Amino acid sequence: MTLPLEPGFPPMEAEAVAAIPAGAAWQYEPKWDGFRCLAFRDGPTIELRSKSGQPLGRYFPDLVAALTEIVARRFVLDGEIVIPIDGRLSFEELQLRLHPAASRVRRLAAAHPARMMLFDLLVDEAGHDLTGRPLAARRAALEALMPRLASPALALSPATENPAEAQSWLDALCTGRDGVVAKRLDFPYRAGHRDGMVKVKRLRSADCVVGGFRYLAARRQVGSLLLGLYDDAGRLDHVGFTSTIAEPERGTLTTRLERLVAPPGFTGRAPGGPSRWSRTGRAADWQPLRPELVVEVRYDHVSGGRFRHGTTLLRWRPDKAPAQCRIEQIAH
């Protein structure tokens, strides 16, 4: 490639904060629940790279084809890959694309084509490096380029300078949008850094049954609680975990939990199933509990009826009956 930026160039990142910043210096954008991607085009050569610099083109041949067909012949775009299904964005469908079989990827792409939500232009069609220019100038250049990026697979991500509108995005329940990103309008593109860019996630809470626990690797004390919610058939499904247990409480809590050890713990979906992320056998090493304890946890993402990330333990709920902890709490 003859572009001024090479594939593997690290994208600008965001610092997590608790609230949307206010002031005339900020631009606000939705935070999309997808795969961050830098798209490089130099004539016939197209590269898609993840936030970590890994190639993504083999998993998204539909996007590569779309970028090949547009009028613009040279650029570096920053955006988020998403897959819309029935008017909602599916993170699960994105994960399915990470498959070694090209034939399977092609079938998935044909059934549910991906889109790229564009929010920054790093190299323009003339080959100029825009990363040293302020966001306000880069955004204007991206908007001017959009007619030459015309494709159903490419969309300009919304932006506003109104913090009240940004707050409405944060408050609205919308699958595929999980927060707000705020960027300083006067800042250049700080590759690999978090200067001038913050993110605010929409955090929610749920009351969950403690259906099991895992010991710490180094000693026989509780390391994490395994969380469950009841489905419509009355089965307790494993939905995630929390490991935010205060160190002074581990000993007493371990004794309390060990008194409740009894199979099966989870009567529906249980821990220990195959995981695309874990190649160890540790996922199967857990202790089942009688479903008597309830905790309230804070979470951010839900994928496939489970918490995608670890949750934060807020409090124990002795006032809540385990049977009241149902999957509807997280089925947005």
**Annotated catalytic, 31?**
yes
Q: What are phi and psi of 191, to 5 degrees?
A: -60, 125
Query: Contact, 99 vs 116, CB < 8 A?
Result: no
3-state secondary structure 106-125: HHHHHHCCCEEEEEEEEECC
Query: Contact, 118 vs 154, CB < 8 A?
Result: yes
The long-range contacts involving 88-94, CB below 8 angstroms and separated by at least 24 positions, are 88/175, 88/176, 89/32, 89/33, 89/34, 89/175, 89/176, 89/177, 90/176, 91/33, 91/34, 91/176, 91/301, 91/303, 91/308, 92/303, 92/304, 94/34, 94/35
Query: Contact, 294 vs 208, CB < 8 A?
Result: yes
Q: Which of 77, 30, 27 is nearest to 185 (CA)?
A: 27
Q: CA 111 to CA 323: how far, in whole Å?
A: 38
Q: CA 58 to CA 279: how far, in whole Å?
A: 23
Q: Which of 31, 183, 199, 201 is catalytic?
A: 31
Q: Which of 251, 248, 240 is nearest to 215 (CA)?
A: 251
Query: Contact, 238 vs 206, CB < 8 A?
Result: no
Instruction: Identify the bridge partners of residue 89 per DSSP, sorted by sequence position.
Output: 84
Rg (CA), the chain: 23
Query: For 10, which DSSP code?
Result: P
Q: Which residues are catalytic?
A: 31
